[in-house]
C-alpha cells in the first residue's frame, strides 16, 4: 500500500526498507517522464485522469453514433436503417455506453485529476489501485463492445428486465458480454470509490476541514459513497443473471417459482442512486464554475453541501418510482410517489443557490460559464418534468413513452453532460497548459444547445401523444394529424440529433486546434478560487512544491484578495505570486509512488476470466491464474524503485525526489 507522506521540514522522511531480493519482474519500473511506458505503468492520478478522460471521450463518440443511428431509424415511419434486432442492440448499447462508459468514467476523470489537487494532496491514497481501476474500466468497456463482432450485442435494454434477458428470449451472447463487462467496470468503480473516500478523509492539506473542502470535492465524495453502496447491489443482480444464463440457475424463472420483479427491485435500487452518481459530479463542477465567473463565493455553501448529502440519502428511497406501472399496489406506489417528491426539495435548493450565486455578481460569459448556466436551465426543465411523473397516476400515462426519454435527456444531457463540458473548458488550461479556443467553443456550445433542445424538446410532445419508447418503428396509423402529429416531431428530433453531433464535433476540432496552436495558458486564467489553481499549468508530478496550509474556503482567492471592514476587495497578490510563494518554500523531500507493472496485469485477467465464463471454462482458469499472479506480483513488489533507476536521476537536480510505493 502506498501512503504518501506529508512532507516534513524538520527531519528527512524515513524510507521503508526495500526488499533485498528485488529482481526481474518484481523490480518496479523506473519512472520515465515520456513515452508509452510512462502511461502504461503510471500510478500518477493526473495521467490516469487524462486516460480516463480520453477513453470516456472515445466511448462518448461511440454512444453518440449509436444515438444518431437510432434517430435516423425513427426519422420517418417504418424506418429501414436498422432491423428490429439491430435496433434493440443499438438502444441497449447506447444507454449502456453513455451511462457506464462515458458519464461515469468522465466523472472519474475529473475526480481523479482534481480531487487530490483540490485538497492539496500529492496523489490518491492507493495509487496502484487507482491504476488498476482505470485499466479494469478500459478492458471492461472493450469487452462489452466486443459482442458487436461476436454474434451481436446485448438486446434487452440497459435495464435488462428479466425474464426477457434470459437465455430463451435473448439467445445470443450479447447479454453475457453485457453482464460480465459491467461486472468488470463495476470493480473499477468500487475500487475507485474506496480509494477516493480514503483520500478525502485522510489526505486533506493542513487546515482544510470538511467544511472548507471545495464543493466539487464534496459532491465527488457523496458520489463515492453512493457507488460504494450501489455497486454491490448491481453486482449481485448481475451475478444472478450470469448464473441464470450460463449455469442454468432459476433466479428469474417463473416456472420454477421465481418472481421477475426481483430483478427490477435489484436493478433500480442500484439504478436510482446511479442517476445521482451521474449528475452530482456535474453539480460539483458548475458549483465551482459559477462562483468564479460571478466573482462571488458559492451562495449558501453549507446548503449546497447538505442538499447534496440529502440527495445521496433520499436517493435510496425512491427506486420504485421506476416501477409505478409494474403492479406494486397502491400503498407502495403512494409511498414512493411522495418520497420522489421529497427529493425534489434538495434538488430545488441547488437551483436556488446557483441562481443566488450569480445574483449580484460581476458576470462574465466564457464558454465554461455558458455551459454551466446551460446546465442550470436545462436541468431545471428536466427537474420540472420529473415532478410531473413523481405523481404516480400521471406517471402511468408517461412511463415508457418518449416523455420519459425527454425528461432524462434533459437531466442527463442538459445536466450531466453540460456540466462535464463546462468542466472541460474551465479546467483544460489546468490539465494541458493551453486555453481551448473560445471561438470554436461558442460554436460548440450553441450548436449543442440548439441540437439538444431540437432533439429532446419534441420528445415531450411525442410522449404525451402516446409514442412508446424502444420501438424500432413507429407507424403512420398511430401518428395523428395536425400540429402534434408524430411524423413532424420525430423528424425534428432526428435533425436535432445531427446538429447535436456537429456541436460535439466542434469540441473535437477545438481539442485538435488547441493542441496544434492553442494559446499558452497563464497561471491563473480565470482568477480562480480553489487550491487546484495554486500550482503550475499543468501541475508538476508532485502537484505542489509545498503543501499549502488552508485557512479559508476558497483559499486561493483569499491569498489573492484582502477584504476591508466595509467589504471592499483589494488585490494584494496575483495568482502567479501566490504560486511563486509556494515554490520558494518547496519541501525538501517529496515522496512519490513508483510506477508498477501489476495493476494492468491484474486488470487484464478480468476480461480473460469473463471470456472464459462465456466460451470455455479452461480459459477462465487461465484468467484466474493471471489474476493470482497479478496479486502475488503486486504484493511482493518492492515498495520503491531504487534511486539510481529514476529518470532523470535524482542526484544533482536541486530537489531530491524519493519514490515510495
- Tell which positions 570-609 bind another protein, by CB under 8 A: none
Nearest alpha carbon to residue 199 among 305, 115, 282: 115
Q: Are strands 434-435 and 519-520 parallel, antiparallel or unpaired?
A: antiparallel
Judge contact between 247 and 253, C-beta under 8 A: no
**According to the binding rule CB under 8 A, does residue 295 interact with another protein?**
yes
Tell me which of 102, 143, 270, 299 binds another protein, using CB under 8 A: 299
Q: Taking the mean position of all CA atoms in its chain, how far away is CA 93?
A: 17
Shortest approach of another protein to residue 79 CB, angstroms? 10
Tell me which of 13, 356, 509, 657 binds another protein, using CB under 8 A: 356
**According to the binding rule CB under 8 A, does residue 478 interact with another protein?**
yes
Nearest alpha carbon to residue 117 among 2, 227, 214: 214
Angle formed at CA 532 by CA 529 and CA 537, multiple of 5 degrees: 110
Specify the stretch interacting with another protein by CB under 8 A; choose among 14-22, 186-194, 363-371, 639-647.
363-371
Tell me which of 13, 194, 400, 505 binds another protein, using CB under 8 A: 400
Shortest approach of another protein to residue 261 CB, angstroms? 6
In the 8-state DSSP scheme, what is residue 517?
H
Cβ within 8 Å of residue 549, ≥6 positions away: 205, 206, 207
Q: Report the site for another protein in 520-579 (rule: CB under 8 A).
A: 561, 563, 567-569
Q: Report the site for another protein in 61-120 (rule: CB under 8 A).
A: 83-85, 88
Shortest approach of another protein to residue 449 CB, angstroms? 8
Query: All 3 cell numbers of residue 312?
Result: 445521496
Number of residues that bind another protein (CB under 8 A): 119
Q: Report the site for another protein in 151-170 (rule: CB under 8 A).
A: 152, 155-157, 161, 163-164, 167-170
By beta-carbon proximity to another protein, the closer residue of 470 and 540 is: 470
**According to the binding rule CB under 8 A, does residue 42 interact with another protein?**
no
Tell me which of 61, 235, 438, 495 binds another protein, using CB under 8 A: 438
**According to the binding rule CB under 8 A, does residue 43 interact with another protein?**
no
Whether the CA torsion 133, 134, 137, 143 is positive or negative: it is: negative
Nearest alpha carbon to residue 28 among 626, 636, 601: 636
Q: Residue 98's CB: how many other CB atoms inside 10 A?
A: 25
Q: Residue 90's CB: how many other CB atoms inside 10 A?
A: 21
DSSP string, 68-92: HHHHHHHSSTT--SS-HHHHHHHHH
Q: Which residues pair with 659 in a beta bridge?
A: 592
SS (H, E, C) 88-148: HHHHHHHHHHHHHHHHHHHHHHHHHHHHHHHCCCCCCCCHHHHHHHHHHHHHHHHHHHHHH
By beta-carbon proximity to another protein, the closer residue of 37 and 558 is: 558
By beta-carbon proximity to another protein, the closer residue of 255 and 635 is: 255
Tell me which of 1, 149, 247, 329 binds another protein, using CB under 8 A: 329
**According to the binding rule CB under 8 A, does residue 250 interact with another protein?**
no
Specify the stretch interacting with another protein by CB under 8 A; choose among 376-384, 412-420, 517-525, 592-600.
376-384
Judge contact between 493 and 71, C-beta under 8 A: yes
By beta-carbon proximity to another protein, the closer residue of 224 and 353 is: 353
Shortest approach of another protein to residue 168 CB, angstroms? 5
Shortest approach of another protein to residue 555 CB, angstroms? 13
Omega within 30 of 0 (cis) for the link into 533: no
Tell me which of 212, 272, 321, 460 binds another protein, using CB under 8 A: 460
Tell me which of 380, 494, 514, 594 binds another protein, using CB under 8 A: 380
Shortest approach of another protein to residue 59 CB, angstroms? 23
Q: Report the site for another protein in 171-210 (rule: CB under 8 A).
A: 171-172
Specify the stretch interacting with another protein by CB under 8 A; choose among 64-72, 116-124, 319-327, 648-656.
319-327
By beta-carbon proximity to another protein, the closer residue of 228 and 450 is: 450
**Torsion angles phi and psi, residue 637, rounded to 5:** -65, 140
Specify the stretch interacting with another protein by CB under 8 A; choose among 32-40, 55-63, 472-480, 498-506.
472-480
Judge contact between 436 and 513, C-beta under 8 A: no
Tell me which of 28, 71, 370, 434 binds another protein, using CB under 8 A: 370
Tell me which of 38, 250, 485, 536 binds another protein, using CB under 8 A: 485
**According to the binding rule CB under 8 A, does residue 384 interact with another protein?**
yes
Judge contact between 586 and 655, C-beta under 8 A: yes
Nearest alpha carbon to residue 268 among 340, 330, 207, 200: 340
Taking the C-alpha atoms of residue 172 and residue 437, their distance in angstroms, rounded to an integer, is 46
Query: All 3 cell numbers of residue 337?
Result: 410517489
Specify the stretch interacting with another protein by CB under 8 A; choose among 60-68, 126-134, 386-394, 585-593.
386-394
Q: Cα–Cα distances in Å, from 592 out to 143, 194, 195, 544, 586?
A: 33, 20, 17, 12, 15
Reported in sequence order, the residue ranges of 121-230 that DSSP labels E, i.e. its strands, are none
Tell me which of 16, 211, 439, 519 binds another protein, using CB under 8 A: 439
Cβ within 8 Å of residue 512, ≥6 positions away: none
Specify the stretch interacting with another protein by CB under 8 A; choose among 118-126, 182-190, 213-221, 346-354.
346-354
Nearest alpha carbon to residue 143 among 191, 92, 185: 185
Q: Report the site for another protein in 629-648 (rule: CB under 8 A).
A: none
What H or E segment, with its residue span, contains residue 657?
strand 656-659
Shortest approach of another protein to residue 306 CB, angstroms? 11
**According to the binding rule CB under 8 A, does residue 57 interact with another protein?**
no
Tell me which of 75, 179, 358, 610 binds another protein, using CB under 8 A: 358
Shortest approach of another protein to residue 309 CB, angstroms? 15
Shortest approach of another protein to residue 274 CB, angstroms? 19
**According to the binding rule CB under 8 A, does residue 491 interact with another protein?**
no
Shortest approach of another protein to residue 66 CB, angstroms? 17
Tell me which of 184, 286, 349, 531 binds another protein, using CB under 8 A: 349
Burial of 546 (0-12, 13-18, 19+ CB in 10 A): middle
Cβ within 8 Å of residue 325, ≥6 positions away: 395, 396, 399, 400
By beta-carbon proximity to another protein, the closer residue of 11 and 256 is: 256
By beta-carbon proximity to another protein, the closer residue of 397 and 546 is: 397
By beta-carbon proximity to another protein, the closer residue of 301 and 507 is: 301
**According to the binding rule CB under 8 A, does residue 509 interact with another protein?**
no
**According to the binding rule CB under 8 A, does residue 407 interact with another protein?**
no
Shortest approach of another protein to residue 513 CB, angstroms? 14
Amino acid at each position: 500500500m502506498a501512503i504518501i507522506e506529508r512532507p516534513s521540514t524538520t527531519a528527512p522522511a524515513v524510507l521503508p526498507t526495500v526488499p533485498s531480493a528485488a529482481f526481474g519482474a518484481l523490480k518496479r519500473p523506473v519512472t520515465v517522464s515520456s513515452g508509452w511506458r510512462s502511461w502504461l505503468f503510471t500510478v500518477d492520478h493526473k495521467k490516469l485522469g487524462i486516460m480516463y478522460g480520453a477513453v470516456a471521450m472515445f466511448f462518448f463518440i461511440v454512444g453518440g453514433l449509436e444515438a444518431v443511428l437510432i434517430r435516423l431509424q425513427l426519422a420517418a415511419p417504418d424506418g429501414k436503417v436498422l432491423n428490429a434486432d439491430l435496433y434493440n442492440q443499438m438502444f441497449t448499447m447506447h444507454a449502456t455506453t453513455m451511462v457506464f462508459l462515458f458519464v461515469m468514467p468522465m466523472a472519474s476523470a475529473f475526480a481523479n485529476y482534481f480531487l487530490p489537487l483540490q485538497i492539496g494532496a500529492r496523489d490518491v491514497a492507493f495509487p496502484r489501485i487507482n491504476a488498476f481501476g482505470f485499466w479494469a474500466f478500459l478492458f471492461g468497456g472493450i469487452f462489452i463492445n466486443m459482442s458487436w463482432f461476436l454474434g451481436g450485442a446485448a438486446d434487452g435494454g440497459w435495464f435488462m428486465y428479466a425474464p426477457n434477458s434470459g437465455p430463451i428470449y435473448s439467445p445470443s451472447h450479447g447479454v453475457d458480454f453485457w453482464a460480465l463487462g459491467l461486472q468488470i467496470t463495476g470493480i473499477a468503480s468500487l475500487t475507485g470509490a474506496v480509494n477516493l473516500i480514503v483520500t478525502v478523509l485522510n489526505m486533506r492539506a493542513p487546515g482544510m476541514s470538511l467544511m472548507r473542502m471545495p464543493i466539487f470535492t464534496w459532491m465527488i465524495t457523496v458520489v463515492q459513497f453512493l457507488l460504494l453502496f450501489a455497486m454491490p447491489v448491481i453486482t449481485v443482480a448481475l451475478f444472478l443473471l450470469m448464473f441464470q444464463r450460463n449455469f442454468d440457475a432459476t433466479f428469474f424463472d417463473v416456472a420454477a417459482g421465481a418472481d421477475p420483479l426481483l430483478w427490477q427491485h435489484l436493478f433500480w435500487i442500484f439504478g436510482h442512486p446511479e442517476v445521482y452518481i451521474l449528475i452530482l459530479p456535474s453539480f460539483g463542477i458548475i458549483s465551482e464554475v459559477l462562483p468564479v465567473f460571478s466573482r462571488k463565493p458559492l451562495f449558501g455553501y453549507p446548503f449546497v453541501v447538505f442538499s447534496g448529502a440529502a440527495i445521496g440519502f433520499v436517493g435510496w428511497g425512491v427506486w420504485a418510482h421506476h416501477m409505478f406501472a409494474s403492479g406494486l399496489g397502491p400503498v407502495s406506489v403512494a409511498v414512493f410517489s411522495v418520497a420522489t417528491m421529497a427529493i425534489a426539495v434538495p434538488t430545488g435548493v441547488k437551483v436556488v443557490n446557483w441562481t443566488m450565486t450569480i445574483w449580484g455578481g460581476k458576470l462574465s460569459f466564457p464558454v465554461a460559464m455558458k455551459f454551466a448556466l446551460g446546465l442550470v436551465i436545462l436541468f431545471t426543465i428536466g427537474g420540472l418534468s420529473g415532478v410531473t411523473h413523481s405523481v404516480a397516476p400521471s406517471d402511468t400515462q408517461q412511463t415508457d413513452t418518449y416523455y420519459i426519454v425527454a425528461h432524462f435527456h434533459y437531466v442527463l444531457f442538459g445536466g450531466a453532460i453540460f456540466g462535464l463540458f463546462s468542466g472541460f473548458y474551465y479546467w483544460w488550461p489546468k490539465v494541458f497548459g493551453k486555453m481551448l479556443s473560445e471561438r470554436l467553443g461558442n460554436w460548440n456550445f450553441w450548436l449543442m444547445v440548439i441540437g439538444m433542445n431540437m432533439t429532446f424538446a419534441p420528445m415531450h410532445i411525442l410522449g404525451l401523444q402516446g409514442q412508446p419508447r424502444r420501438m424500432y418503428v413507429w407507424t403512420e396509423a398511430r401518428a395523428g394529424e395536425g400540429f402534434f402529429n408524430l411524423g413532424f416531431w420525430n423528424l425534428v428530433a432526428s435533425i436535432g440529433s445531427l446538429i447535436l453531433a456537429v456541436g460535439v464535433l466542434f469540441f473535437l476540432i477545438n481539442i485538435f486546434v488547441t493542441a496544434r496552436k492553442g494559446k499558452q495558458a497563464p497561471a491563473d486564467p480565470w482568477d480562480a478560487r480553489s487550491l487546484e489553481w495554486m500550482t503550475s499549468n499543468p501541475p508538476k508530478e508532485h502537484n505542489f512544491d509545498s503543501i499549502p496550509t488552508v485557512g479559508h474556503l476558497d483559499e486561493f482567492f483569499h491569498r489573492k484578495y484582502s477584504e476591508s471592514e466595509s467589504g471592499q476587495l483589494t488585490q494584494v497578490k496575483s495568482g502567479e505570486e501566490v504560486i511563486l510563494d509556494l515554490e520558494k518554500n518547496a519541501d525538501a523531500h517529496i515522496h512519490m509512488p513508483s510506477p508498477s507493472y501489476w495493476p494492468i496485469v491484474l486488470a487484464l485477467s478480468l476480461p480473460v476470466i469473463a471470456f472464459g465464463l462465456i466460451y470455455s471454462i479452461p480459459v477462465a482458469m487461465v484468467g484466474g491464474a493471471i489474476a493470482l499472479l497479478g496479486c502475488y506480483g503486486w504484493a511482493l513488489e518492492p515498495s520503491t524503485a531504487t534511486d539510481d533507476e529514476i529518470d532523470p536521476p535524482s542526484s544533482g537536480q536541486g530537489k531530491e525526489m524519493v519514490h515510495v510505493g
